[in-house]
Chains A and B, each alone.
Chain A
């Protein structure tokens, strides 16, 4: 088995050898390292990307760009990593297709944490949400090599995932840690004065 250091360094250098800038290559190395550390097939995914030819892939440079076919996941990921601080970009986007979508996950994950964002990816084949909380379960077997007709929603809104009755039940339970207040305690236990007018 190779160490994570070896994986990161090898991906960084091979990205550079394929013509990416040093800075982008560093990002690619970190992304694949994170995937492999999380036991995803990041290296295999990256290798398939190289086979496609990085220069043949379409870079996402503008959310409103007309051609969103054959997108490069590294540049797609870096786009949202770099741009997501801009609130004007917090909306839903539609894209035609992207290669090796697994590789966008580390970038969205980092951006989610940095900017407290939620990324909801939706398509017929794949749906997932990446949140700033950092706990998400993604089955890599569901990751296609190429994802078609998908949307990405960027949002700061955290959705409530529980019912009101569950909340009410737990809140009532939490009150059991409080002490019932007698009239005497009202006088002696409070730190402030007895009226707010003194």
Chain B
């Protein structure tokens, strides 16, 4: 757990920076592995329960591994009034997982986020950190198709 020690060192072992420390740990491992949390607990001399409290309180943290492809659908108000909830259902159907879940083969993680602040482009779907703006049902299906999912699209060749 050398990595964890390095991250904590960056914040001068300041316990006040526990949230940013966990963010960096998550960035390193793609989620918060138990061993890493144990290491944070030992190095900072904090009970594991304190760390677990944060890891479960803040939405940004995941205690389970995340998929190779990450899809985040913006559910801000502007996206909602432009029909984001229909898109959510469509993606859930296409990936066969619910928002907040990861597929069993660790290929996909789908989550909803509360406003990305790019409202002119709403509804917005972020696919592996790339923004897709003014997304429609047929557009999401095409995106899922390029990621290797079998879904109905309005393309002629289907």
A in complex with B: no
Interface residues of A (CB under 8 A from B): none
